[in-house]
Amino acid sequence: MKLQKNKIVMILIVASVVLFIVAYSIITFGKEEETNIDTNQVPVPKLGGDQKQYETKMEALESIKEEREINAPSVYDEALLDATGNYDPDLRDKEKRRMIDSIYSQGNIDYASSTYRQEQSVPLTSAPLQNDMLPRKIDKKEREAAAKEMGLEHQLFFASEPKENLNILSQNTDGQLYVQVDGTQTIKQHYRLRMRLSRDALIDGKLVTKNTLLYGFVSFKPNRTLLTIEHIKGRAVSFEAYDLADGSEGIYIENSFREEVRRQVVGDVVDEIEVPGVPQVSGIKQLFRRSNRQVKVTVLDGYQLLLKIPQEHS
């Protein structure tokens, strides 16, 4: 009996040791490994399953499941909600009364007096047509006169060319503008000369600041180069250039240019000559025209000019 007790004690000791080892191993090795995130590398989640491959785009689109909108159930009966969404417990009774009233109003029976309703027809009276409303035949002469009148109106419309009132413009514009040539330039007939304002100026009621660019178109007469300014910064104007040194119109030209200008003047005179039976005159005209096109004038940088409104507009 004593031997059996020793066996039982030994078995209990061995069993307790085995249970302790098993429990310790479960606690120690059963924990999941903690993932350490590297500061220089962003962890990428692992795919739970292989991605399905589709042969066509249509199969991929058809496989997309539509997400259905899930609304919470209403606490009110939807049958008792009116068109505005308000809850009305008497809505059904009101609908019934409305239907009955519509039947009464559309029916031919008067339920209150138990008789049939008689339709009241309103007679349609046709108003007599006035003489102006009656169709009439248009004479051929009237059609021709109307066509000529319309054609004349079209010609007058397209021929009209309204001009800006320069008198009103001159009232809101400085009478004299100080300018200077912007860079040394070589110009010819109908060329443009680039200039800039030397002072602030008032143009059409608006202030134009100093150094604003403007352009003048070139023409010639003996010993002078004439400039005409038609626009300044997008505004229509009418100015003529005067030499600030001598106060005369245009830029003074050296005497070496006198012979070329004389040719130009002679060419203008020849243009007015018409001698019947002398075809050689046309050749002389072309000769003077070529001389006119070959005239060149060099204007130095910073040349001072004064712009004035023409006398006929001032």
What CATH number does the domain located at 166-254+296-308 have? Answer: 2.40.128.260
pLDDT at position 13 is 92
CA-nearest of 223, 163, 225, 169 to 192 is 225
pLDDT at position 108 is 60
Domain boundaries, the chain: 166-254+296-308
Mean predicted confidence (pLDDT) in 223-247: 89
pLDDT at position 184 is 92
CA-nearest of 118, 234, 237 to 175 is 237
- 75's CB contacts (< 8 A; 6+ apart) are none
Mean predicted confidence (pLDDT) in 155-177: 69
Cα 221–chain centre separation = 47
CA-nearest of 65, 287, 76, 309 to 171 is 309
Mean predicted confidence (pLDDT) in 101-126: 64
Q: Predicted confidence band at 281 (pLDDT cuts at 50, 70, 90)?
A: very low
On the question of pLDDT at 127 being above 70, the answer is no
In angstroms, the CA 229 to CA 182 distance is 15
pLDDT digits (tens, 9 = 90+) for 77-94: 778 888 787 888 888 888
> Six-digit token pair at 156?
């007058």
In the block, residue with structure tokens 């078995």: 11
pLDDT at position 256 is 43
User: How confident is the prediction for the chain on average, in pLDDT?
Assistant: 76
On the question of pLDDT at 123 being above 70, the answer is no
On the question of pLDDT at 274 being above 60, the answer is no
pTM reported for the whole predicted model:
0.40
Burial class of residue 250, CB neighbours in 10 A (0-12, 13-18, 19+): buried
pLDDT at position 242 is 94
Q: Predicted confidence band at 293 (pLDDT cuts at 50, 70, 90)?
A: low
Of 119-123, 191-195, 252-256, the poorest mean pLDDT is in 119-123
Q: Name the residue with higher pLDDT: 262 or 142.
A: 142
Mean predicted confidence (pLDDT) in 177-204: 91
pLDDT at position 9 is 86
Percent residues over pLDDT 90 in the chain: 18
On the question of pLDDT at 306 being above 60, the answer is yes
Mean predicted confidence (pLDDT) in 243-259: 76
pLDDT digits (tens, 9 = 90+) for 47-66: 666 777 888 888 888 888 77
Q: Name the residue with higher pLDDT: 209 or 108.
A: 209
Q: Predicted confidence band at 270 (pLDDT cuts at 50, 70, 90)?
A: low
Mean predicted confidence (pLDDT) in 179-205: 91
3-class state of residue 46 by DSSP:
coil
Q: Name the residue with higher pLDDT: 124 or 198.
A: 198
